[in-house]
Amino acid sequence: MSTTHTVDVVVIGGGAAGLNGALMLARSRRTVVVIDGGDPRNAPAEGVHGLLALDGTPPAELLRRGREDVRRYGGRIVAGRVVSAGRDDDDDFRVELADDTVLRARRLLVATGLRDELPDLPGLAEHWGRGLVHCPYCHGWEVRDEAIGVLGVGPASLHQVLLFRQLSDDVVFFRGDVELDGRTRARFEARGVRVVDTPVAGVESDGHSITGVRLADGRIVPRTVLAVATTMLARTDGLDGLALPTEDVQHGRRVVSGPAGTTAVPGVWVAGNVTDLTAQVGASAAAGALAGAHINADLAAAEAEAAVPEPFSPASEAALTARIVGERRHGLPLPA
């Protein structure tokens, strides 16, 4: 089993949140290692959208540039999968990878993202990220004016209908088990949205693209794009030893966090989709940067405290305070 010296921060996750957090830390002259599992959530997408000055950039290209940025300031990128993480005997963190590599760190930033659970519907999954979409802000412009179908899987689907209707005049809502009150039906009708109450049996395609939705009674409703609200689950594989608290929310399950990505576990921060399930790439990157800055500040405070000579008595504290006051008042140091 290979080991390394203790670094300031190990970042678990090489997406936008993890890389931007690592960038902030590396620019602060922190020793930082990013563990990149190599399976970003947005890999099937043709481009990242809604990101100022980088709109349309392929996800792989965006991450390649991000890795280059981190390396430019001395950060390391390690390809691997975490199998365990927890505190070591000396109160630092120990992170073990699937290839038996062991990393040790004073602080951790968890930016592992999430995984999407799709409805168990025949023919659906193979179109994920292309004809099957979930976010009108990520993919909406690209499917504008298409024949769009929204699959009803919960309350979020009602919101999706209105957002995708903004992008196309041809929207059909396949209700499934979602209950519709009279007011909602009236709103959909007023906006020209057709509601299909018959259960969906599967998705039709030509081998490459979606062509329609097959209903339980055998009818096929022609569609070229389907939208679905996925169940979004924070990726926590291999992190059980950290005992990070999670909570179930409307859209799935997230790691609980406080300001700047702090967690209930001292020394561990989180950023991006692992805690904010609906964050787009820009928001995830910003959260990573904020967490990185706070980790650096935490380390700086700890280092300053550790540098104070012991014992530090009340008398010595009073003398130091008087010295600082004198320096500020007169602009010159007082005699020692």
Asked if the structure places residue 109 within a domain, the reply is: yes
- Please check whether residues 81 and 132 belong to one and the same domain: no
β-bridge partners, 103: 95
- Please check whether residues 173 and 247 belong to one and the same domain: no
Residue that is last in its domain, among 195, 228, 261: 228
- Please check whether residues 108 and 175 belong to one and the same domain: no
CATH number of the domain enclosing 12: 3.50.50.60
- Please check whether residues 74 and 154 belong to one and the same domain: no
243-270: pLDDT as tens digits: 999 999 988 999 999 999 999 999 999 9
- Please check whether residues 106 and 129 belong to one and the same domain: no
CA 334 to each of CA 136, 321, 326, 327: distance values in angstroms, whole numbers, following the listed order: 64, 11, 6, 6
CA 84 to each of CA 29, 35, 96, 236: distance values in angstroms, whole numbers, following the listed order: 27, 13, 5, 10
Asked if the structure places residue 146 within a domain, the reply is: yes
Asked if the structure places residue 157 within a domain, the reply is: yes
Which residue range is the domain that position 46 belongs to? 3-116+231-307
Asked if the structure places residue 130 within a domain, the reply is: yes
- Please check whether residues 106 and 249 belong to one and the same domain: yes
Asked if the structure places residue 134 within a domain, the reply is: yes
Could you give the number of structural domains in the chain?
Answer: 2
- Please check whether residues 30 and 112 belong to one and the same domain: yes
10 Å CB burial of residue 253 (0-12, 13-18, 19+) is middle
Asked if the structure places residue 332 within a domain, the reply is: no
Residue that is last in its domain, among 165, 199, 228: 228
Asked if the structure places residue 325 within a domain, the reply is: no
Could you list the pLDDT tens digit for every one of the 336 residues in the chain? 455 689 999 999 999 999 999 999 999 999 999 999 999 999 989 999 999 999 999 999 999 999 999 999 999 999 999 999 999 888 899 999 999 999 999 999 999 999 999 999 999 999 998 899 999 999 999 999 999 999 999 999 999 999 999 999 999 999 999 999 999 999 999 999 999 999 999 999 998 999 999 999 999 999 999 999 999 999 999 999 999 999 999 889 999 999 999 999 999 999 999 999 999 999 999 999 999 999 999 999 999 999 988 776 666 667 667 766 665 565 555 444
- Please check whether residues 57 and 187 belong to one and the same domain: no
Asked if 138 contacts 227 with a C-beta cutoff of 8 angstroms, the reply is no
3-class DSSP string for 151-190:
ECCCHHHHHHHHHHHCCCCCEEEECCCCCCCHHHHHHHHH
- Please check whether residues 132 and 150 belong to one and the same domain: yes
Asked if the structure places residue 100 within a domain, the reply is: yes
- Please check whether residues 175 and 88 belong to one and the same domain: no
Residue that is last in its domain, among 228, 263, 298: 228
- Please check whether residues 184 and 270 belong to one and the same domain: no
Rounded to an integer, what distance in angstroms lies between the CA atom of residue 281 and that of residue 50? 8
- Please check whether residues 42 and 57 belong to one and the same domain: yes
pLDDT of residue 90: 85
SS3 279: coil
